[in-house]
Structure 1
Amino acid sequence: MIKCNNVLEQANDLSALILKRWQVLLATGDFVLGEEVAKFEAWMSERCNGANAISLNSGTDALILALRALGIGPGDEVITCANTFVATVGAIVAAGAKPVLADVGDDELINVDTIEPLMNARTKAVIPVYLRGRPLNIDAIIDLCRSRGVVVIEDCAQAIGTTIDGHQVGTRGDASAFSMHPLKTLGGFGDGGVLVTTHPEIAEYAIKARNHGLETRNESVLFGVNSRLDSLQASALNLKVQYLDQWLKRRVEIAAFYDQALSRTATTVDLGRGKPGGSYYHYVVQSKHRDRLQSFLAENDIHAAVHYPTPIHWQEAWLKSQPPVVLPNTERLSREMLTLPCHHHLTDSDVEKVVATIKRFDLMEKQ
């Protein structure tokens, strides 16, 4: 089976090196907020143009703490999209604010045209999502929000390696959230995340809030949470960062091959339209016959996935707690998008097989 993700293969590749590191770490007793964590935060800061990088238990916690640091809570509205992992909206609800869902463009991303009509006096924040590691027009969104006194929190959970003008995304807004979940391009062996910000006061809040609000071992200056990236995960990530750019390069190569090879099939090219700066966490195509195509690929030992089959406004959690909303483009895309395998463990022959199988499906549909 040609897999849609390479979590197991990546773990097996590096397991000997990581276990060796862990053996050394276990002998130190340095398990919480130690040297390995500081080293990873320094790497992340450098990656993000020198911004503050505060490691946490998850990307979800990074969103929640960013919202809290910016004073977002009950009575406030936060605009985001519905075609994202449920954590984006869950973080807004956890902060006590009301989520407001904007529709997306044909590229699956929210933009000023979909955000602006939803703004009102209660709008306090916008969370644009770099879905699939795809760059969006963040400067236009920030300009709109600044003109309205609204803060911007960038959801970069899928966007490690995504760039705009050659720079890692996540530093243009007031804060951003990255995920190091095992499925991510740079993932640990459990949960992990990073809050990135250029604002010292947000960084100071997050550093305290992630550790119960402690200023010293026995003095709490605010009521926080337990959201620390543990040293074992940081140690593994510190090894993986050495390979990240090599992995990202391979994803871009595969995406370029798909772009060219699939450009004349009924299954269209990547929804990102080859926009530069994409990190290709997902490579997604559209098909009016998505479910049949997915089944045909599976019959030929190719795993293609749907991210995400049910938009958040159709989820039970939303329907039980929020007013109904209609998002035509989001709903249409949810029925048509399909994620193809795109990761560094794929061989050229794997990628060629994916393309050949899609072309065979295309011919069958025309008959």
Structure 2
Amino acid sequence: MKVKYLNFIQQWSSERKKLLRIIDNIFSTGEYVGVNCKEVIKFEKNISKFLKIKHTVSLNSGTDALTLALHSVGVRRGDEVITPANSYIASTGSIAHLGAKPVFADVLPDQNIDPKQLEKLITKKTKAIMVVHLTGRSCDMKSIMKIANKNKIEVIEDCAQAFGTKYQSKYCGTFGSVGCFSTHPLKNFNAMGDGGFITTNNLKTYNLISKLRNHGLRSRDKADHFGYNSRLDNVQAAVLNFRLKNIKKVFKKRRQNADFYIRNLNKKFIFCPPEKKSEFNTYHLFVIQVSNREKLQRYLTRKGITTYVHYPIPIHKQKMFKNKFSKSFLPVTEIQSKNILSLPIHDGLTNKQLHYVVNSINNFFEK
């Protein structure tokens, strides 16, 4: 049996007729790119309503969302931003591009930042804490916000993998100063090309990022800032507006798949972080932790099951940071990078495929 990690073709097949009509309508209007395009404006309103937040600014990518968010809260050259080292490279790259210094915090067993690490990492140069809701699991936002507020530090939420995830019944991306999201095709809530957006309750931040994403312009010919070219195009906005209508069904199926894995994988050999009562996780990834990852991955490949590792090299061990941060003491991060394995979790999986994955993994350990 084949069990693919992604379901792009399945998704397209189920949506093809409706999406072709939507895209044809966009091409017929001639509205391709612009902050005032009809679908773009509609998308921003839809997201604000869905996440129960005042303001949304659509952008060209989740990476741009991080960069503009950091810029908007005043992160500049020489500042420090506390963040985990087990995320995708874009998280820390956005800090470095502004000339700031990433300060790496270790993580908990669920791969999210450990709040107890924060206090000892805060210095006079600390401008922000960038939390990453990795794999679609929420961070401990109560503890993090308490520390940030006590020290008067901004919180940026990297929600690239966590659209729809909740902590204590409140959506991730609505706790800190700015929430940053990606709608890359790999995400649960996905466009058919690059895309992203930020969320905020702060009008000043909203106005600034609205200008920054469009070359710093406040009108067609008048600029207030040196900005960026980071507009979401109208086609992607239309696709996202369509897919938002069904996103809760996607969440439901992914959560059912995750629950099946958690209940049926052999806990003697496999660690699956349980979902806490305070969490509603959307499972962009489903990650298990095992002691012999490479052997298991090769075995699953032979069985026709595609898996990935997110991520095998912690950021502080990457070439561009190695000389500066190679001595960082992040024991949990480094152990997890050797043990983690992402299983297929997409909403197109059948019950037969789920049983096949579980039986294959359990048989590997029990034989």
TM-score, structure 1 normalization: 0.96
After superposition, residues 217-296 of structure 1 pair within 5 angstroms as 217-268=220-271, 270-273=272-275, 276-296=279-299
1:15-94 equivalences under 5 Å are 15-32=16-33, 33=35, 34-94=37-97
CA shift for structure 1 position 274: 5.5
1:29 aligned partner, one-letter code: G
Alignment equivalent of 1:144, drawn from 132, 143, 147: 147
1-structure distance, mates of 2:355, 2:8: 21
* RMSD over aligned Cα atoms: 1.4
Deviates more, 1:16-25 or 1:2-11: 2-11
Structure 1 Cα separation of the partners of residues 177 and 30 of structure 2: 36
Q: Secondary structure at the match of 1:127?
A: strand
Say which is worse superposed, 39-48 or 312-321, in terms of deviation.
Answer: 312-321
Instruction: Give me the whole-angstrom Cα distance separating, in 2, the residues matched to 1:289 and 1:320.
Output: 29
Alignment of 1:1-367 (within 5 A): 1-32=2-33, 33=35, 34-268=37-271, 270-273=272-275, 276-319=279-322, 324-364=327-367
Is the Cα contact below 8 Å between 1:267 and 1:362 reproduced in 2? no
Measure the CA separation in 1 of the matches of 2:228 and 2:324.
25
Distance 1:298 1:274 in 2: 31
**Letter paired with 1:348:** N
Amino acid at match of 2:225: L
The residue matched to 1:27 in structure 2 has which SS? helix
Task: Measure how far apart 1:320 and its partner are.
Answer: 5.2
1:211-265 Cα shifts (integer Å, max 9, x gaps): 0111111111111110000001001111111111001100011111111111444
* Secondary structure class of the residue paired with 1:220: coil
Q: For residue 289 of structure 1, what is the amino acid of its counterpart?
A: N
* 1:331 alignment partner AA: E
Residues 16-75 of structure 1, C-alpha deviation per residue, up to 9 Å, x if partnerless?
A: 221211111111111122010111111110122133110000111111111111111012
1:323 Cα shift? Answer: 6.0
CA distance in 1, matches of 2:208, 2:105: 29
Q: Which amino acid aligns with 2:114?
A: N
- Secondary structure of the residue that 2:187 maps to in structure 1? coil
Moved more, 138-147 or 271-280: 271-280
Which piece of structure 1 moves more, 9-18 or 347-356?
A: 9-18
Report which stretch shifted further, 195-204 or 310-319.
310-319
- Cα deviation for residue 142 of structure 1 reads 1.0
Give distance in 2, aligned partners of 1:50 and 1:326. 37
Aligned to 1:30, the other structure's residue is in SS state coil
Deviation (angstroms), 1:96: 1.6
Question: Structure 2: how far apart are the matches of 1:123 and 1:272?
Answer: 32
Q: Distance in 1 between matches of 2:8 and 2:320?
A: 29
Alpha-carbon contact 1:259-1:274 (below 8 Å) kept: no
Q: Which stretch of the first structure deviates more once superposed, 162-171 or 152-161?
A: 162-171
Residues of 1 paired with 2:324 and 2:22: CA distance? Answer: 46
Q: Residues of 2 paired with 1:322 and 1:266: CA distance? A: 32
Cα 1:273/1:263, change in 2 over 3 Å = farther
What is the CA distance between 1:272 and its match in structure 2?
A: 4.3
Say whether the 8 Å CA contact 1:55–1:228 is kept in structure 2.
Answer: yes
Runs of 4+ in 1 over 4 A off after TM superposition: 272-275, 320-323
Q: Between 63-72 and 159-168, report the one with greater CA deviation.
A: 159-168
Using structure 2 for the length normalisation, give the TM-score: 0.96
Shift of the alpha carbon at 1:8? 3.1
For each residue in 1:151-177, what CA deviation from the matched residue of structure 2 results, as whole angstroms up to 9, or x when unmatched?
A: 000110000120122232111111110
SS at 1:214 equivalent = coil
Does structure 2 conserve the Cα–Cα contact (< 8 Å) formed by 1:51 and 1:171? no
How many residue pairs get matched? 363
Once the two structures are overlaid, the 10-residue window that deviates more, 3-12 or 27-36, is: 3-12
- Displacement of 1:12 in angstroms is 3.0
For the 8 Å contact 1:181–1:188, the answer to whether it is kept is yes
Contact conserved, 2:266 with 2:362, CA < 8 A, in 1?
Answer: no
